[in-house]
Structure 1
Amino acid sequence: MPDRITAVEIIRQSEQGVSVRPFLVRANDGNRYFVKGLSRAGGPSLMSEVIAAELGGCLGLPIPEWRIMDIPPALIDFSPIENVQDLAGGPAFASLQVDNASELMWSGVRNIPVELQRKVLVFDWWILNGDRGLGENGGNVNLLLDAQGNLVVIDHNAAFDSTSTAEQFRTYHVFRDQLGHFQDYVTRQEYVRELDAALAHWDRISALLPVEWIYRDQDEIDETIPTLLQRLETLQQFREERFWGQL
């Protein structure tokens, strides 16, 4: 299990992020993290972050290390930073800061290795992440380039979105030009093996989730929020022909 860390300094709120703008926070391990709090993001979104980060890591995707962060209430109460109460409510999700990173632009897409583009594309389709859109006029790509120009894959709080459609995916996904590659049976089977091996870690991954993120009072249950079981069922769909037929 990743080490649980404690916040020691709230530095600033990030300019990036559409639905949830994380905060840059220094932790007691000496590192800086981009942190999403339970109060603002909500438990289901933080669950999506952990599940996606772990599964993506199993696939070899370049996703930053993450930790569960405890934020002392006094640190929040005495901070002058606007919106800092977003960090309240319980354990937070912390993603390790990538030094000197820049957002991937449309002009840089062609420099990303084709195989990596394809793996990100399959991964996003697998976890129902429609939050990777980019075109010539911009978008919300949630991909960075590190100081060496290597791709970094971030932000999965919007994953497991049952309203995502194949049409939206084909129209907006940053790596949509790789669609059609997966119709070859041999190629498809290679990806099936990779996804199957990653999903074998499900019990370990689900055990990482803080109980505060999972429990919801019966009166507050929202039918649009997937349960853990529904998330697993979504992830098992790669074994069906229709999963690949839409890629």
Structure 2
Amino acid sequence: MLCGVSLPIITATRYVLPLREGGSLPGVVEGNDLGTYVLKFHGAGQGPKALVAEVVVGELFRRLGLRVPELKLMELDPAIGKSEPDEEIQDLLIRSAGLNLAVDFLPGSFGYDGSSGKPDDATQARILWLDAFVANVDRSWRNTNLLVWHKNLWLIDHGAALYFHHSWMSAEKFTGLPYDATDHVFRDVAPAVPDIDSQLAAEITPELLTEVIGLVPDEWIAPGDRERYLDHLTARLADRSAWLPGGAR
């Protein structure tokens, strides 16, 4: 069984407001550590697998030098939902009793639109390579899932990545699954991606993958699935010719 050091665990003390930009209806919540978070619920329509992807991808990206808001686990008492007047939100809060994913709220941040906080080409290429590796389909100009905060770029919302786990396609199939970068926000740097391929691939060791997969709490993952995530990602890393943006060299 793969295991690792847990993410910090805090408790929700107040539900502040919903964020209606996405279909999963995350909410702004205050925690008992006096912090404010965007809370993503295991009872949302996408289910706990979206939270698994958030943890594995977000923490992998962080360890590879990209800025991702701090992730914590948050205990939610269903009593918080009983006083919520909106029935949809009340149902979601009650369904999501227990552990959920808290993402550090970045006050005053704004969505990246290419006009400010633009990263250098090397950083853009790094993001594109990593999105291709984890099959993240949600980084287009329609929804960049990038925030600018204090003039720095922050990566958010990785629940759509690792989509092989929704039907558990074989590791062999995932290995050769092409990545379509034509809609990616940083598609213009695709020709530079092969230049950093060997370096990035070397940074993603089995130990690193084991560590980030081990951060997922048992409540969100079936027995044996940690090994399946490791097998799928290790296989994709070993044969990058099919999915590498810019073409293999």
TM range (shorter): 0.7 to 0.9
Aligned residues, how many? 226
Q: 1:114 to 1:81 in 2, by over 3 A?
A: farther
CA contact (8 A) 1:69 1:94 kept: yes
Task: Tell me whether 1:95 sits opposite 2:103 in the alignment.
Answer: yes
Q: Secondary structure at the match of 1:61?
A: coil
Q: Unmatched 5+ residue regions in structure 2? A: 1-5
User: What residue in structure 2 maps to residue 141 of structure 1?
Assistant: 144
Query: How far 1:191 moved relative to its partner?
Result: 1.5
Distance 2:92 2:135 in 1: 25
1:112-151 map, 5 Å: 112-134=119-141, 139-146=142-149, 148-151=150-153
1:218-237 map, 5 Å: 227-236=225-234, 237=236
Q: Secondary structure at the match of 1:39?
A: coil
Q: Unmatched 5+ residue regions in structure 1? A: 217-225
Q: Identity across aligned pairs (percent)?
A: 28
TM-score (norm: length of structure 2)? 0.82
Cα distance per residue 1:140-188 (max 9 Å; x no partner): 1110000x22101000111112499646x3211101111121334xx32
Q: 1:235 to 1:179 in 2, by over 3 A?
A: same
**Amino acid of the residue matched to residue 179 of structure 1?**
A
Q: Secondary structure at the match of 1:63?
A: coil
Q: 1:8 to 1:202 in 2, by over 3 A?
A: same
Pick the aligned partner of 2:158 from 156, 159, 172. 156
Pick the aligned partner of 2:49 from 44, 49, 56. 44
Pick the aligned partner of 2:24 from 15, 20, 27. 20
User: What residue in structure 1 maps to residue 212 of structure 2?
Assistant: 205
Q: Secondary structure at the match of 1:10?
A: strand
**Amino acid of the residue matched to residue 5 of structure 1?**
I
Pick the aligned partner of 1:63 from 35, 60, 68. 68
Cα distance per residue 1:81-116 (max 9 Å; x no partner): 45323233331111000120000114447x222121
Q: Secondary structure at the match of 2:212?
A: helix
Give the number of the structure with larger relative contact order, counting CA–CA contacts within 8 Å between residues 6 or more apart. Answer: 2
User: What residue in structure 2 maps to residue 171 of structure 1?
Assistant: 182
Task: Tell me whether 1:29 sits opposite 2:25 in the alignment.
Answer: no
Cα distance per residue 1:33-61 (max 9 Å; x no partner): 00111111411111111111211111011
Q: 1:47 to 1:190 in 2, by over 3 A?
A: same
CA contact (8 A) 2:132 2:245 kept: no
Pick the aligned partner of 1:11 from 10, 13, 16. 16
> After TM superposition, what 4+ stretches of structure 1 lie above 6 angstroms from structure 2?
none
Q: Secondary structure at the match of 1:100?
A: coil
CA contact (8 A) 1:12 1:81 kept: no
Q: 1:51 to 1:241 in 2, by over 3 A?
A: closer
Query: How far 1:245 moved relative to its partner?
Result: 4.4
Q: Secondary structure at the match of 1:54?
A: helix
TM-score (norm: length of structure 1)? 0.82
